[in-house]
Structure 1
């Protein structure tokens, strides 16, 4: 065989071998596609920043194919890129900002969906480390094994909300208000319809974090949703009643929300957390309706 042909054949074999290795080592996404692993260099923060800078610059290109290619490559980046893109959004020109406002939610969703899909295939509590609010969830409910099915259902039902939590999105408070409004509308007491327990549990978990800003009617929406008679049955003798009671208690005792409904719900559902809320309310030495409910709660 001539030397030139031998060299070409060698390169072809090397290329085929490399392609096979990438296909074998790549990660399968939620959509079943195989993604090549991030190159070693791109795992370094400086290299990732350089990659993001270049792709965002390409979004300003007058050539549509170049912009389209940049979008495709941005959507294949890993989680650390989200914060970098959000920073870029703050100073981007309007044409680039428009594209970033479309790319960032899609990237968040893809990353979150990939993680949830992996958990669904082989759910283990150890694999939930790093998932949004999982540590708080376990602390509140006290049993990772028993609570895991509820948590996974919450993740699937409120994907956008937990994706916001995973990536510390500034849109969390707005989305929380929107979802709480929809939850309240769904809690209409129609007994033939199933109560949206996964949504209610998710909203209570996220909103019970006192570091989360609750906009306008969010707290009222959530608490009023719990007055639905179907919820009363779930928290009393539902299959996951213990988990639901724990999440409800965590929500009701959140500082900064009006005490009236939490006190009344604590009495109705016989939740020990009512005593904590009542004592905290009476410490203000303001004798109003909340104080009356507090005394009633302490005497219940």
Structure 2
């Protein structure tokens, strides 16, 4: 019995250590995230929309886009964005008239069209940057816009944390995770050691910070907040001379064009990939394209940060 008890204790300690390490490196709270996903699956989008109407909302708006093969799954992220301690003023879902990436039109589910909390905005396809560009063009110069990805569930206090940060850092682009451009302007896979040390280009995640941390590039996967006046909007919306690598690596391009300093803000946890439909999300992830053929020189992030080499002020080449 003693040996069995010791064995069970060892398993428990190992499990706790594994969960702690996962949180340290990824910012995810495994048990809490599983419970949050389960609770959201039991709620209806219509019910959350009704609750949003009566809620005390922030002045922030949320902006995102999607691709045709994912639009039937967009309900998951919308639920997470509505189930907030401080909900957004509005959610703008930017849906192109035709998808350049998948070369098909969108079949928008009818139940998304009647939501008071969500406004579907049609227009040209700006690539992944469609998550921000249409909303930035249509909003007032001082409107805070929280840009997010379409394959994540965001924490319950996600909007509230951004709201608090925007009140004290009105002239700073804010993100829950970002990265510093390496001195050799080369993106590369991270290792456990580079992640532990937060060495460029490893992500600097907000759950490990006690204060603001300057970065070069904000990460839409974890969410970032910007104001239209941080950009020359005519330049932001003009992708005619943008190399394909920068067109696809939208976080790099948008960060490069952002005239405001960019900082990671402290938070308790980060967004996570829903376990339901996880395989589909992974198979359709933009990262599959951005990795190129595997060579460091062929990575879209590498090409994009070199294209905007003179825009980096935290990291990047030191000879400027």
Structure-1-length-normalised TM-score: 0.27
Higher relative contact order (CA 8 A, sep 6+): 2
> Quick check: which one's strand share is greater?
2
**Is the helix fraction higher in 1 or 2?**
1
Higher radius of gyration, 1 or 2: 1
TM-score by length of 2: 0.25
